Chains A and B, each alone.
Chain A
Amino acid sequence: MTPIDTSKGRGAAASDRAGRDTPAGSGLALSLRGVGKRFGAVQALADIDFRVGAGEVVALVGDNGAGKSTLVKIISGVYQPDGGEIEVDGRRVSISGPRAAQGLGIATVFQDLALCDNLDVVANLFLGRERRQSGIVLDEVGMEQEAWRLLRRLSAKIPSVRIPIASLSGGQRQTVAIARSLVGDPGIVLLDEPTAALGVAQTAEVLALVRRLRETGLGVILVSHNMSDVLAVADRIEVLRLGRNAASFDARDVSIEQLVAAITGASDEARSGRDDLAATPNPAGGTS
């Protein structure tokens, strides 16, 4: 299939979806099993299991150096894992590059958003996937209509799609970046620190956006440092620590303290301490 065909097909699919108000339910299931990644002498990720289903928000948390970014880059195709399996909808796949990830229906919104300040909202939304009339001329009207449809679907507050990105607030830029990830009609959206640089109101806006993504049946992976954000929107919370799965929580019955303990490793040490005690009734056996 030529790139042009792909873009047309995906564009059409996106417009079908955006036209519906009911949840589309076309999200994908992504699962990783035993994935590892090593940089020289550093084992950045080891034996990671991770899954996200349709209509589910999974938060990925962890301290600096826990391997979050590495995992994000593996899922978005920037890095190749050293081992392990990746499945999309039960099919084993290899994500050979960012384009392959998009082709599989995995859209990534990177932390630095990657928007062109000098272009307007419509141009940014469709950058690299422009629609054309009769093969040459840009279909500006069609793209503008579709832009409004996408933004309404997210109930996004962008006053005009014909103003340059430079004049938008941080939250609005984040909204545009998320809306852009939907242009390709993905099944899974990966958000890397979407609220890191935002104020209170804008954070609430973006979190509402995440909920609406879930309502439309998408699988959402949310990478964040902010525990209250994570607890506010996530269904499940996966904790990474030193490149390994440290814990997995149901967001409904976990407290910030428990999360922090899992992230910092305090709970591990507490538990391993108890295990040691249980396993070695004779204290003298523990010292060797």
Chain B
Amino acid sequence: MTVAADLADERLVRSKGLAGAVDVVWRRLRGGDLGSLPVVVGLAIICVVFYSLEPRFLSSFSLVNILTYAAPVGIIALGIVLVLLLGEIDLSVGSVSGMGAAVMSVLVVRESQSVLVGLLAGIGVGVLVGLVYALLFTKLGIPSFVFSLGGLLGFQGVLLYLLGSEGTINLPSDSGLIEFTRFSHLTGAAAYALVAGVVALYVLGGLWTIRQRKRAELSAPSVVGLAVKAALLAAGLAGLTYYLGIDRGWSYLFLLFVALVVLMDLALRRTRWGRHVFAVGGNEEAARRSGVKVTRIYVSVFVLTSTLAALGGVLGAGLQTSVSQATGTTDTNLTAIAAAVIGGTSLFGGRGSAYAALLGIIVLQAIQSGLNIVGVDSSVRFMVTGAVLLLAVAIDSVARRARSSSGRG
């Protein structure tokens, strides 16, 4: 039997069968390549703890709520993942989300524009902020920490100015935005059809990769492994669909968030742009010398981050049915950043994944929801969230040391 070109080196330890696969995973973990394992373990612990305190925590009503309310800040966190990949930071995402929501609500309620115009304007504000940030960063060389700190204060001021003396704007309850964010859920046959479609796409993608690699005489993942993973995915999704279906089902808002995460993941891993984002985050000078248009990468990422923040803001406003002076302040910023970090995005740049936003925000939302159900004061919630963030960063730092001692970067 001929050996595939990429397995020909005699120094490569070939791992065969189940034992081999387990060994590979174990070695990777020992080497500090933790991936999303800490988050998944953390989530399991959170579930066990809160379930033992209050079984309602894992009721389908509670789970639907957790997922739905995780979505708006999750979308903001997705943008944070992008800036963190570059080794930069955007502290103003909460304020930008609040400003976007305020612009939309003012247009819709006071100026009686259509919701669509309001949405576009709100999101457009995000694009604009991102462009200004990119300009400040690439042309003037101002550190992102500084100008986004300015934005944090400045845009909160804009929010207060727009809301004026009233302080709160209630969105019309018959608007499509509220319908979409609060009351639209996917359940029953349609939900199972979606699960089937997702699993089918996963299998087809996997088979295509296997076929391509075999044709190129490279080693290919095994069909059995793919089948096992697909079966697990199908069982998990179908089980969740059933369980959430007991209550309202998958909320459209959460599905939109997941769709954005999947799209971002594909863009990061499968396109030239995504490759360049990782390169700039890893070694900017090397990327520049290799012909990567570094400025464009910065511009695209700052714009995407602010845009996603504004999108999260308007959707969050829909979910809350109103925009108030507190929209997008203090904890939105930090929750979004914490979610990205807890999900496993490194603060040092060049390491992370779009799924970090999804996992991280579910952890934080689960904690918040669990503490609410148990009936704990919000002061405790802040302390717990802070401790979890600290733990996540500590895990990142320890894993980083393990990586450098085992040569995984």
Which chain A residues have a beta carbon within 8 Å of chain B's beta carbons?
98-99, 102, 110, 113-119, 123, 127-130, 132, 136-138, 140-142, 144-145, 148, 157-162, 164-168, 180
Contact = CB atoms under 8 A, between A and B. Distances in A.
Interface in B282-316: 282-283, 285-287, 289-292
Contacts, number: 101
Nearest to A167: B407
A116 B282 contact: yes
Given A115-B283, A118-B351, A160 B6 contact: yes
B9 A159 contact: yes
Contact of A114 (B5, B289, B350, B409): B289
Contact of A118 (B12, B213, B409): B409
Interface of B: 5-6, 9, 11-12, 212-213, 216-218, 270-272, 275-276, 278-279, 281-283, 285-287, 289-292, 350-351, 403-404, 406-409
B409 A117 contact: yes
Contacts of B406: 167
Most central of A132, A141, A142, A157 by chain B CB within 10 Å: A141
A88 B289 CA distance: 22
23 contacts: A98-B289, A113-B286, A114-B286, A115-B283, A115-B286, A116-B278, A116-B282, A116-B283, A117-B409, A118-B409, A119-B275, A128-B287, A128-B290, A129-B290, A129-B291, A130-B272, A130-B275, A138-B270, A141-B216, A141-B218, A145-B5, A145-B217, A159-B9
Contacts of A165: 409
Contacts of B213: 141
Given A117-B282, A137-B271, A127 B5 contact: no
Given A110-B289, A118-B278, A164 B270 contact: no
A56 B272 CA distance: 36
Given A127-B292, A137-B271, A161 B283 contact: no
Nearest to A177: B286
A119 B279 contact: yes
A31 B275 CA distance: 37
Given A118-B351, A144-B218, A148-B6, A164 B291 contact: no
Contacts of B278: 116, 118-119, 123
Given A110-B289, A141-B213, A123 B279 contact: yes
B6 A144 contact: yes
A138 B409 contact: no
Given A129-B291, A141-B213, A116 B279 contact: yes
Nearest to B211: A141
Contacts of B291: 99, 102, 127-129
Contacts of A145: 5, 216-218
Nearest to A117: B409
Nearest to A136: B271
B7 to A, nearest CB: 8
A138 B9 contact: no
Contacts of B290: 114, 127-129, 180
B275 to A, nearest CB: 6
Given A136-B271, A166-B408, 19 more contacts: A114-B286, A114-B290, A116-B279, A116-B287, A117-B350, A118-B278, A118-B281, A118-B350, A118-B409, A119-B278, A127-B290, A127-B292, A130-B275, A141-B212, A142-B216, A145-B216, A162-B6, A168-B407, A180-B290
B408 A116 contact: no
A116 B278 CA distance: 9
A85 B404 CA distance: 47
A134 B289 CA distance: 26
Contacts of A162: 6
Q: Which 10 residue pairs across A and B have the least CB separation, nearest first?
A: A166-B409, A128-B291, A167-B407, A128-B290, A118-B282, A114-B286, A116-B282, A118-B350, A127-B290, A159-B9
Nearest to A137: B270
A116 B286 contact: yes
B32 to A, nearest CB: 11
A187 to B, nearest CB: 18
A119 B279 CA distance: 7
A159 B279 CA distance: 22
A223 B276 CA distance: 30
Nearest to B9: A159
Contacts of B12: 159-160
B12 to A, nearest CB: 5
A119 to B, nearest CB: 6
Contact of A167 (B6, B11, B409): B409
B282 A159 contact: no
Nearest to B4: A148
A179 B35 CA distance: 30
A119 B272 CA distance: 13
B345 to A, nearest CB: 13
Contact of A144 (B216, B407, B409): B216
